[in-house]
Amino acid sequence: MEYILSYNLSNFVPLLKIMKYLKKHWSNILFGLFITLMILPQTRMPIQVLLNKGLALFSPSVINSEDRNLIENYNWQLVDLEGNTFNYASTQNKVVLINFWATWCPPCVAEMPSLEKLYSDYKDKIIFLFVSNEDNEKVSTFITKNDYTFNVYKPLTQYPKVFNVSTIPRTFLIDKKGNIVIDKTGASNWNSNKVRAVIDQLISEY
| CA atoms within 13 Å, Cβ hemisphere of 53 | 9
Do 86 and 121 have their domain in common?
yes
Closest CA relative to residue 55, chosen from 190, 194, 199: 190
Closest CA relative to residue 60, chosen from 166, 171, 150, 167: 171
- Domain presence at residue 53: no
- CATH code assigned at 144: 3.40.30.10
Do 179 and 82 have their domain in common?
yes
Residue 83 identity (one-letter amino acid): G
Do 30 and 77 have their domain in common?
no
Convert the pLDDT of each residue in 119-136 to its tens digit.
Answer: 999 999 999 999 999 999
- Domain presence at residue 107: yes
| pLDDT (0 to 100) of residue 42 | 55
The Cα angle at residue 78 between residues 73 and 84, in degrees rounded to 5: 140
Do 73 and 35 have their domain in common?
no
Q: Is this model's pTM higher than 0.85 or not? A: no
- Domain presence at residue 46: no
> Please, are residues 55 and 187 in contact by the beta-carbon 8 Å criterion?
yes
Convert the pLDDT of each residue in 42-53 to its tens digit.
Answer: 556 777 777 777
- Domain presence at residue 146: yes
Closest CA relative to residue 102, chosen from 132, 138, 130: 132
Do 62 and 106 have their domain in common?
yes
Q: Considering its fold, how many domains does the chain have in total?
A: 2
Angle between helices 41-55 and 106-122 (to 10 degrees): 50
Convert the pLDDT of each residue in 59-105 to its tens digit.
Answer: 999 999 999 999 999 999 999 999 999 999 999 999 999 999 999 99
**Alpha carbon distance 148, 132 (integer Å):** 15
Query: By residue range, what is the domain housing residue 102?
Result: 58-204
Do 118 and 189 have their domain in common?
yes
Q: Name residue 155's beta-bridge partners.
A: 78
